Structure 1
């Protein structure tokens, strides 16, 4: 297809050293507006009686068929703190939703067009991908006041191939700061390899090992402006804190794996009936 990599040598050097990279002005104001308008349209049509809660702390207890089936459709997950003791939402669904996932890039025309753009393909080409596939996508709201914590983790734990190949593409749709729950990462932690895996078995999903205790002093904030893309190595340890501020922190996230020479692990929580199409083939 004649795709040319768009990352400079100094950017690649930074990514290989730190395990992450910020690409400023990746998306235009118009593109951001189109994605936000579309997600609000989807939210408006969503019947919240089919509620499911998402948690990075207790998903193994909260997992249900709705979570599993989200791998191949557009599903809506609420914040843990969105409901009162009576089981009802404390505020409107628009201010209670945690994320929408995990196949926006496949089944919504607006997100599909954006996710398959040449800019993404060119970035992945720069990183050495030959036949990359978007395996999941998420619109993350990080709601004001209740936006949930995302505990320290590695993307390869959840989206594993042999050999490991996952990369995260995290697009800020609003300014992300330490105040409203930006990403934090341990620079260079990707060099130490995968710590544990999130396994789906007959009894549900669980981690195969306990989480290590991380020194919070090692994490650095990744504050970015709206439109910036954060590229995350699959073994990079990263997290985000609760959003206790009055300002949301919307983001659109893609997770990509290589299919040229890499085998999808059958123990992953995502199980596809139909193999997704590659973004491009070099």
Structure 2
């Protein structure tokens, strides 16, 4: 792995590896998940399919933890290419804890800005996401937006989100309202980002374009605990391992004024209101 990826990850909190998966692999995965979704709902689906709903996210709801029952999802989650990149970024192989697929059809709401480790509660260390585009993703169809350098912030205290534009109901405050920047990607590109990086997405305002993405969540190899929902964790050869369950919420950060502008400091108490699903 190029040292530039680690340098960018350390400085910005994320790095984009272009073309990590081939176009034919992406097409196979995209067709596979569209087939699964069209067949209906599955046990432990995050949201059941409501084919007649006016809400596009009800007609094509996201799916989570597919690797627990779908072999193709499992093999993607523990793919050696993902492991190689993250080992280079983190210094050792991570543990795998979650798969997700977002369909985000035309007209869908986005997801308010958030930090993944608010939900995963990996300790010590943090979680890492591998976010792979299954379509061309850009501003029009609601690509990811990230706040460079926010991985250095603590996990921030949440506030209410605008559910007219976000399917989640909490978000995090920013010192500057336009701090998030879009990350446009091609199919097969993978964005790796730190668990404290603030990120989210705007609505898909296109008329005929999905924004499908396959996501793996991982925790650093030195982690001893993670939230209960993410058990069992897997080593990158697929072997389950026993970790402790993270309990409750710890301190969270709030913005306070300083001579050099707002600074996020630990002053509040986390309240977990939603699973990261």
More helix by share: 1
| 2:162 is equivalent to residue 168 of structure 1 | no
Alpha-carbon distance in 1 for matches of 2:205, 2:57: 17
Distance in 2 (alpha carbons) for counterparts of 1:216 and 1:166: 25
- Does 2:226 correspond to 1:232? no
The C-alpha deviation readout for 1:120-143, integer Å capped at 9, x for no partner, is 111121122535222111110111
- Listed as ranges, the matches of 1:98-109 within 5 Å are 98-101=61-64, 103-109=65-71
| Structure-2 residue corresponding to 1:30 | 24
Alignment partner for residue 276 of structure 1, among 216, 233, 239?
233
* CA distance in 1: counterparts of 2:105 and 2:48, whole angstroms: 10
Aligned residues: 229
Shift of 1:100: 1.1
Of 123, 140, 157 in structure 2, the residue corresponding to residue 179 of structure 1 is: 140
Preserved contact between residue 13 and residue 197 of structure 2 (Cα < 8 Å): yes
Work out whether residues 137 and 255 of structure 1, in 8 Å CA contact, stay in contact via their aligned partners in 2.
yes
Structural mapping, 1:1-282, within 5 Å? 6=1, 8-47=2-41, 70=44, 75-77=45-47, 88-90=52-54, 96-101=59-64, 103-145=65-107, 147-196=108-157, 211-213=172-174, 215-246=176-207, 247-258=209-220, 260-265=221-226, 268=227, 270=229, 272=231, 275-280=232-237
Following superposition, the deviation at residue 216 of structure 1 comes to 3.0
- Which stretches of structure 1, 4 residues or longer, exceed 6 Å deviation after superposition? none
Q: Structure 2: where are the runs of 5+ without partners?
A: 160-168, 240-277
Q: Is the 8 A contact 1:132 1:256 kept in 2?
A: yes
Distance 1:140 1:210, change over 3 A: closer
- RMSD of aligned alpha carbons: 3.0
Alignment TM-score, normalising by the size of structure 1: 0.72
Provide the rounded CA distance (Å) in 1 between the counterparts of 2:117 and 2:57.
30
Gap runs ≥5 in structure 1? 1-5, 51-65, 199-206
